[in-house]
Amino acid sequence: MEKTITVLPGDGIGPEVMKGALRVLKAVEARYGHQFNVTEMPIGGKAIDETGFPLPSETLEQCKKSDAVLLGAVGGPKWDGMEKRPEQGLLQIRKELNVFANLRPVKAFAPLGDISPLKPELIENVDLIFVRELTGGLYFAQPKGRTGNEEAVDTLYYHRNEIERVVKKAFEIAASRSGKLTSVDKANVLESSKLWREVVNEMAKSFPEVEVEHMLVDNAAMQLVRNPVQFDVIVTENMFGDILSDEASMITGSLGMLASASVSEDGQGLYEPVHGSAPDIAGKNAANPLGMVLSTAMMLRHSFHMNDEADAIEMAVQEVLNANYRTRDIESKKGRISTTDEMVDQLIYR
Amino acid sequence: MEKTITVLPGDGIGPEVMKGALRVLKAVEARYGHQFNVTEMPIGGKAIDETGFPLPSETLEQCKKSDAVLLGAVGGPKWDGMEKRPEQGLLQIRKELNVFANLRPVKAFAPLGDISPLKPELIENVDLIFVRELTGGLYFAQPKGRTGNEEAVDTLYYHRNEIERVVKKAFEIAASRSGKLTSVDKANVLESSKLWREVVNEMAKSFPEVEVEHMLVDNAAMQLVRNPVQFDVIVTENMFGDILSDEASMITGSLGMLASASVSEDGQGLYEPVHGSAPDIAGKNAANPLGMVLSTAMMLRHSFHMNDEADAIEMAVQEVLNANYRTRDIESKKGRISTTDEMVDQLIYR
Ligand SMILES: CC(C)[C@H](C(=O)O)[C@@H](O)C(=O)O
Ligand SMILES: CC(C)[C@H](C(=O)O)[C@@H](O)C(=O)O
C-alpha cells in the first residue's frame, strides 16, 4: 500500500523520538512492501522560530491532505513568556483536524512491574483505555481571556453534539473490548457534567451490550491508584482526561511508554506520544522512543488497517523490554541504560 | 475555655462519625476543663427532607454565630435526580461562611504502610498539605447553566483578590513549615491559570524565605503518585484541588483517614473529613471515624488554639493504629475489624 504521512517532529526530544519512529516505519516498508511518503513540517516552537506561527498554514495544509499525521512533542522554556506559545500549535492542529477523540491506552508491561510506584499485584492485569474529548471544553470555549489586570476567565462549554460523538466512539470501543464503560464527570457540581451524563445515559440505550458506570472525577483520580484493574474504557471531557491519563501513566511506570491516537469522524488521525518535549534531556540521545513508536503502531492499525504490521511493532517492544533494554526513565537493576538510538536498533533487529 | 460549636452531622455515615467526634470532644472537655456548647443542625439531604432546603437559614444563622462548625458528610442516592441536591448545602455553607482556603493535610501513617497502593518506600516520609481554593472557580462562577436541551456551560472565573488571599494563606503555611510551596495550574492552556501564576510570582516577593515552584496539573497528578515526598505545601484552584487531594488520599491508604479545615479571613472555620457520605455502609457502625476525629483536632488547633488538646487527639489516633485497631477501609492482616464505636472507645481510653 502507498500512504502519505505528515511528520511533525516538534521541539525538545520530539525530533529524536520521531527519528526512531521513522526508522521503524522504514523497516515496516521493507518487510511488508508498503510505501510511506513522508513529509516533514515544523510545528510548535520550531515553527515560531521559523515562521512566527506555532502552526504555519503550510503545515496545516500538508496535514490535511495526508493519510495520517505523526507528532513528536512541542514546547520548552525557550518560548516561555512569549506571546505565541508552542502549545497553541498543538491545540490548533487538534482543532483544525477535528480530532475530537483522543485514545490513550494504558497497559502494564510485565517486565516494567518493578518501576511502577504502585504495588505489583495492583497493576499486573491493567489494560485500560482513555477516550478523552479533545477539541472542546475549557481548552477552547469562549469567552476565554483577561479583563484588565484583575480578572481572568475560561469557559467549560459543551454542545450535546460534541459530547455525543466522543461518547459514541467510547461505546464502540467498549463494545469491541470487555463491554465495560466508565464515564467520568463532576455531575454533583457542574452543569456541563449533567449534560454529559444525560448523553451517556441516552447513548447507552443503543449499546445494550455495554455496561455503563458513572464515576465522579475526584473518585476516579483515587480509584486509578487504588485499583486500576477495575477499568476498561474510560470516557471523559478534555481537562479531566488530561489530568487522569497522565496520572494513569504511572501504572506503566513511565509517561515515556504511552501512545495516543486522536481521531476525527472521517478517519483523519493524529498520532502522538503522551509525554511532552522534556527539554532537560533533549539532544542527549536519552529519550524513551517507545511512546512515539507505539503511537506509530496505532497509526498503522487505526488509519491504515495494517494490523499485522502494528502487531509486529508491539511485539518487538515487548521483546525489547523482556530483554531488559531500557532508557533511563524505565531503568531496571537488571540491564544497562540504552540510548534512544540503541532502543530503536533493538526494535528493528526483531 | 467556653466555645460554641455548630454540629452538622449530615447524611450517610455523617451522623455516625460525628457521634464519635462528639464523644472525643466530651473527653477533651473533661480532661482539660473546657466547655463546648454544641448545637446540632440539619444540612444536606436530611435538611431537604425536613425543610425543603439543603441549607436552611436557621442552620446558616447558627453556624455564623458559633466559634466553629463541624460537618460530617452530605449526599446519597435518595436525593439523586431531585431538583435540590444535598451537595448544594455543602457548597452554600462554604460560600456563606466565606471559607476560601481548604487545608487538607496528607501524612503517611507508619502502621498503615501496608494498605497503601503505593510502594512503602515511596510514602514513608510523606507529610504534605493541600491549600485548595474553595469558594470560587468552576464551582460557583456565572454563567452556569443550560441553554435548552443542547448546551451547558460552567465558568472558570477568578478575580485577582480571590487568588491573592488563598495564595497568601499558602505562603504563610509554607513559611511555617519547610519553606517549600508548589503552585499547581494549567498555565499552558488556561487564562485563569496565567493570572494565578502571576499572583503567585508577585506574592513570592513578600515571602523571600519560601521557595516556589510551578507545576502543571497533569504533571502534578503524575508526581503525586511517582514521588509524593517531593511536596510540602501545594496550592491550587478549586477543581484541581478537589481532584488532586482525593488522589493523594491514597498515600495514606484510605480517604477515611483524612481531615480538612476550611478557613476564612476572620478565622471562621468549617471542619469536615475529606470522605463522602458512603451510603453503602451507612448505619452499619462500620465507618472510619478518624477523618472526622482528626478534623475535630484541626478545629481545636486552628479555631481555638488548643494545641495540647489537638496533639493529644492526634497522638491517640497514632496509638490506636499502632495497636492495630482498624475499621474495614484500613483493614490489616494483624488485627480484627473494629466498629466505628470501638475505634472511638479506644481513642477515649488513651
Ligand atoms: C501540552 C498540553 C497543551 C497538552 C494538553 O493539555 O492537552 C498535553 O498535556 C497533552 O495531554 O497532550
Ligand atoms: C461533595 C462535593 C461537592 C465536594 C467537592 O467537590 O468539593 C467533595 O468532593 C469535596 O471535596 O469536599
Query: Quick one: pLDDT at residue B212?
Result: 98
Query: Quick one: pLDDT at residue B173?
Result: 97
Distance CA A218, CA B222 (A): 15
Going by alpha carbons, the residue nearest to atom 2 of ligand 1 is A87
Query: Is A188 assigned a ligand-binding role in the annotation?
Result: no
What is residue A111's DSSP assignment?
G
Instruction: pLDDT band for B148, please (50, 70, 90 cuts).
Output: confident
Written as one letter, the residue type at A345 is: D
Query: Quick one: pLDDT at residue B149?
Result: 84
Query: Quick one: pLDDT at residue B103?
Result: 98
Query: Quick one: pLDDT at residue A41?
Result: 98
What is the per-residue pLDDT across A19-35, written as a single tens digit (0 to 9) for each? 999 999 999 999 999 99
Written as one letter, the residue type at A204 is: A
Inspect the interface and report whether the beta carbons of B154 and A243 lie closer than 8 Å. Answer: no
Considering only residues B230 and A83, tell me which one the structure prediction assigns the higher pLDDT: B230
pTM: 0.97
Architecture of domain B1-100+255-350: 3-Layer(aba) Sandwich (3.40)
Q: Does B186 touch chain A (CB under 8 A)?
A: yes
Residue among A19, A46, A107, A186 flagged as catalytic? A186
The mean per-residue pLDDT over the stretch A162-188 comes to 97
What is the per-residue pLDDT across B233-245, written as a single tens digit (0 to 9) for each? 999 999 999 999 9
Q: Which of A87, A133, A255 to mutate to test the pocket of ligand 1 (most atoms within 8 A of CB)?
A: A87
Atom of ligand 2 at shortest range from CA of B246: 11
- Does A267 have pLDDT greater than 80? no
CATH of domain A117-251: 3.40.718.10
- The set of long-range contacts for A21-28, using a CB threshold of 8 Å and a minimum separation of 24, is A21/A70, A21/A289, A21/A292, A21/A293, A21/A295, A21/A296, A23/A344, A23/A348, A24/A293, A24/A296, A24/A313, A24/A344, A24/A347, A24/A348, A25/A296, A27/A348, A28/A300, A28/A306, A28/A309, A28/A312, A28/A313
Instruction: pLDDT band for A66, please (50, 70, 90 cuts).
Output: very high
- Does B164 have pLDDT greater than 80? yes
- The set of long-range contacts for A313-316, using a CB threshold of 8 Å and a minimum separation of 24, is A313/A24, A313/A28, A313/A347, A315/A350, A316/A347, A316/A348, A316/A350
What is the per-residue pLDDT across A98-119, written as a single tens digit (0 to 9) for each? 999 999 999 999 899 889 999 9
| Whole-number Cα distances in Å, B48 to A143, A237, B27, B252 | 35, 31, 32, 34
- Does A156 have pLDDT greater than 90? yes
Question: Are the C-beta atoms of B128 and B232 separated by less than 8 Å?
Answer: yes
**Ligand 2 pocket member B87 (CB < 6 A):** yes
Q: Does A222 touch chain B (CB under 8 A)?
A: yes
Query: Quick one: pLDDT at residue A350?
Result: 81
Query: Quick one: pLDDT at residue B282?
Result: 97
* Most confident among A72-81, A234-243, A335-344 (mean pLDDT): A234-243
Tell me whether domains A1-107+253-350 and A117-251 share a fold: yes
Query: Quick one: pLDDT at residue B335?
Result: 76
The mean per-residue pLDDT over the stretch B97-101 comes to 98
The mean per-residue pLDDT over the stretch B295-308 comes to 97
Q: Does B221 touch chain A (CB under 8 A)?
A: yes
Cα(B84) to centroid(ligand 1), Å: 36
Cβ pairs A/B, distance under 8 A? 160
Choose the weakest-confidence range: A31-35, A110-114, B12-16, B99-103: A110-114
Instruction: pLDDT band for B336, please (50, 70, 90 cuts).
Output: confident
Question: Are the C-beta atoms of B234 and B182 separated by less than 8 Å?
Answer: yes
Query: Quick one: pLDDT at residue B80?
Result: 86
Query: Quick one: pLDDT at residue A113?
Result: 87
Q: Which fold is adopted by the domain B117-252?
A: Isopropylmalate Dehydrogenase (3.40.718)
What is the per-residue pLDDT across A198-250, written as a single tens digit (0 to 9) for each? 999 999 999 999 999 999 999 999 999 999 999 999 999 999 999 999 999 99
Distance CA A49, CA A123 (A): 43
CATH of domain A1-107+253-350: 3.40.718.10
Query: Quick one: pLDDT at residue A88?
Result: 96
What is the per-residue pLDDT across A117-152, written as a single tens digit (0 to 9) for each? 999 999 999 999 999 999 999 999 999 999 888 999
User: Per-domain residue ranges for chain A?
Assistant: 1-107+253-350, 117-251
Query: Quick one: pLDDT at residue B77?
Result: 92
Inspect the interface and report whether the beta carbons of B151 and A160 lie closer than 8 Å. Answer: yes
User: Does A185 qualify as catalytic in the annotation?
Assistant: no
Choose the weakest-confidence range: A95-99, A331-335, B50-54: A331-335
Query: Quick one: pLDDT at residue A83?
Result: 87
Which residues numbered 242-301 in A keep a CB inside 8 Å of some CB on B? 242-247, 249-250, 255
Ligand nearest to the CA of A138: 1
What is the per-residue pLDDT across A269-304, written as a single tens digit (0 to 9) for each? 999 999 999 999 999 999 999 999 999 999 999 999
Q: Which of A11, A43, A90, A243 to mutate to test the pocket of ligand 1 (most atoms within 8 A of CB)?
A: A90
Instruction: Please tell me whether residue A261 adopts helix, strand or coil conformation.
Output: strand
